[in-house]
Amino acid sequence: MDQTGLVFPRGNDIVVTARFPDISDGTGMTAEFFTKPSKTTADSDPAVNVYDSDVVSDPDNPGATISHFDIPSDDTGVAGSYWWRVDCVDLTGKRRTADCGPLMVEAV
């Protein structure tokens, strides 16, 4: 899995789009976008933010799926270095990490 770095401007509302080219049918699936203080921070840590989204057909890529995550400005208020991850969860609760990487919240 390649790691993708993300950059958020501090204090802005952000929409993160995750594309899943290997998932052709997202029926019943959900996706979760995590922001964490570090790669090793437990998902259950109170400093971790989790955003949920349905997995739906990607209108720009037939046969693929997509999710959109709305990140409120309250959660981008502190500049610094963080970690992000996107997981897909199927109907049986099986979790698969789709991508992850460093996240920078930049002072504007």
Is residue 79 pLDDT above 80, yes or no?
yes
Is pTM, for the whole model, over 0.75? yes
CATH number (3.40.190.80, 3.10.180.10, 2.60.40.10, 3.40.50.1100) of 6-106 reads: 2.60.40.10
d(CA 13, CA 96): 27
**Which residues touch 62 (CB under 8 Å, ≥6 apart)?**
none
d(CA 74, CA 78): 9
Contact 46, 66 (CB under 8 A): no
Percent of the chain with pLDDT over 70: 98
Q: What is the mean pLDDT of residues 44-65?
A: 96
